Structure 1
Amino acid sequence: MKPFHRGLLAAASLFLASTPALAGERPLTNPSVFGTRAVVACDPVEKSCGMAVISFPSGVSTLVPYGRSDLAVASMSMPSVDVAQAIIARIDAGSTPQEAIDWAQTVDPYATLRQLAAVKLHPDGTVTMGQVTGADSSSHHCAIRDTTFVVQANNMTTPDMCRAMADGFRQAKGSLPQRLYASLKAGARVGGDRNGERSGVIRVWNTTVDTAFYTHVLADAVVHASSDALRELGIQLNRYQGTLGVPYPADQVTLDADTARYVKRVLRKLGYYHGRMDGSWSDAAEQALYDFNWNNLFFLKPTEVVGGTRKIDGVLVNFLRDADLRALVRASASAE
């Protein structure tokens, strides 16, 4: 084993042994608010890893997700920074995700309370996974592993939650962030957190697309203390991906008459479009979309003709549907 890897293992072991949260000095917490459901996944084609999480207590965005473009780790039920980082160090040292989680269970005094998942994307495109649900975690828990993702949940209203979320992820279309959100929505159709769902996060990492020049976070959406957390999480995801993210072919949708009318309506409200408000798409509409893109987005997202059908970025369309128009740059007076 290389000295660097040996150092990581030693550091992780010392970290676990010396930190109060893992040395038996459990801080005073309120376990009645714990309860979370999540889908953790890597995409070998997009070269991304990430997760979508929804829960009751605020702060889930800083409690559960850890990762980067080749690895995603979820720390749930009783979250632990130290356990998550130790699992990452162990994987980096050569362990499989399951081996890393199993090792953490042997040194963690609160192992029976935790629910953990790790998904690793390897350079050859293969994906390996690990998962555990502690024996003293909420009795209302479940977990499912597939070829590229893990779904897990605790303190749920139904044990059918994981099946619904897994089916939702498999059936979803679009980029990884959009499919993660689709999985959360599919789960909501059968139940949810027994305390209610008030806080959520979707976070995806990527180092291969053009956004990596600025950030390795491909998608990021966070909601706290909201009675409509799932819907707001989708809005925030589309705002992030719509304004900062690169367009993915998988997110393209047909620019049909209804979509064309809606997009033109928004562009008109912002002063970019002054033509006919029918379901057609003209050069003037395309120019208006370009001008809006130029003033508001990191990456230009024009329409595109694919196989004789005009397409538009579906994330951008969804972003425009829920946009706070006051937060967007309007057309300049000279352009109008």
Structure 2
Amino acid sequence: MHLNTFSIVAYDPDEKAWGVAVASKFLAAGAVVNWAQANAGAVATQSYAKVSFGADGLKMMADGMSATETLTALLADDPGREQRQVGLVDREGHVAAHTGKNCHEWAGHRIGEGFTVQGNILTGSDVLESMSDAYTAAKGELADRLVAALLAGSAAGGDKRGKQAAAVLVVCENGGYGGDNDRYIDLRVDDDETPIRKLRQLLDSHHLFFGIPKKEDRMRIDTEIASELQRIMMKQGYWSGEVDGSWDAISQQAFWTLIGNENLEERWNMDKDPSHIDRVALEYLRRRFG
């Protein structure tokens, strides 16, 4: 099956994170294209994609091979190399890319500092130029910049057949949920009319539920905020006492139950600092229950 798409692979030395993002008119493209491993690198394999390039490429880079050496080795024994498109970034942030001469037009790649963008069956070369510019200019975490590149590529024309799927994968050592894996972000939109927009929404949700609260967002739960939270809890059935602004142990226990049901434990913890609330969590609760 011909996997036509546009993608980006990148390394962020400050985050020590490797990532890959993809968009395509292809069901569940992220399950095929996106490969990454902490302290090894990232791979995007597409256009009559050879899926084994993902696992094999990561193993080679984990063993110390550069992106260029890995790409050469992957293509050497592949009789279908001229139909393949591959982008790689290694553990040091060096990149390599290949666009076979038999990839369907428009097809190509662009290499930048610590990243490469590639695509086929695109509306034109401006898709990749827009992706490169957007990634370089974007702010935020690596995942935010990767998705910014996808949004820019789509705005510039993207896959000329249309839209269906998008995904972003970012890894860093012990960065995954629970701290015992490297899968920091692994979000996929497998079938949607506006997949990149939906992916951006999912990424915002990831930041909300799993992001580390910032010190500047800590707010003391004063009488006014306590009363507001008691009213929210009463409305949702967590609180049956008087709304008096008293942030006592009973109020905190009821709020902890609400926090647990909303998966906001990273932003308010009764055992760590019950007297403060994260501004992001408070604004979320206001939007959801206000």
Q: Indicate whether the TM-score tops 0.5.
A: yes
In structure 1, what is the equivalent of residue 132 of structure 2? Answer: 166
CA distance in 2, matches of 1:317, 1:193: 37
**C-alpha distance 45-115 of structure 1, shift in aligned 2 (>3 A):** same
Q: Aligned partner of 1:129: which letter?
A: V
Q: How does 1:114-193 map to 2 (within 5 A)?
A: 114-122=84-92, 127-193=93-159
CA shift digits 1:224-282 (9 cap, x unpaired): 22112121112222333432x23276xx99x9xxxxxxxx9xx6886789xxxxxxxx9
Distance 1:105 1:165, change over 3 A: same
Q: Percent identity?
A: 24
C-alpha distance 210-89 of structure 1, shift in aligned 2 (>3 A): closer
Alignment of 1:229-268 (within 5 A): 229-243=195-209, 245-247=210-212
2:82 to 112, 130, 134: 112
Q: Which stretch has the larger CA shift, 233-242 or 69-78?
A: 233-242
- Give SS of 2:140's match: coil
Change (3 A) 1:227 1:291: same
SS class of match (2:94) = strand
Distance in 1 separating the partners of 2:132 and 2:153: 8
Per-residue deviation at 1:88? 2.3
Describe the SS at the equivalent of 1:201: strand
Q: CA deviation at 1:39?
A: 1.2
Seen in structure 2, the aligned counterparts of structure 1 residues 93 and 210 have a Cα distance that, compared at 3 Å, is closer
Any idea what SS the aligned residue of 1:66 has? Answer: strand
Aligned length, in residue pairs:
264
Partners of 1:68 and 1:232 lie apart in 2 by 25
Counterpart residue number, 2:168: 202
Shift of 1:59: 2.3
Q: In 2, are the aligned partners of 1:175 and 1:248 still within 8 Å (CA)?
A: no
1:91 to 61, 79, 82: 61
Gaps of 5+ in 2: 220-228, 240-244, 269-277
Distance 1:72 1:298, change over 3 A: farther
Secondary structure of the structure 2 residue equivalent to 1:75? strand
Q: Work out whether residues 76 and 115 of structure 1, in 8 Å CA contact, stay in contact via their aligned partners in 2.
A: yes
1:86-136 CA-to-partner distances (Å, cap 9, x unmatched) read: 2223223332111110122121010000111111233xxxx2111111111
Query: Taking structure 1 as reference, are residues 114 and 214 closer, same or farther at Cα in structure 2, changes over 3 Å only?
Result: same
For residues 159 and 82 of structure 2, the distance between their equivalents in structure 1, rounded to whole angstroms, comes to 20
Cα separation, 2, equivalents of 1:155 and 1:271: 53
Alignment correspondent of 1:333: none
TM-score, normalised by the number of residues in structure 1: 0.66
Amino acid at match of 2:266: L
SS at match of 2:119: strand
Q: Alignment RMSD, CA only? A: 3.8
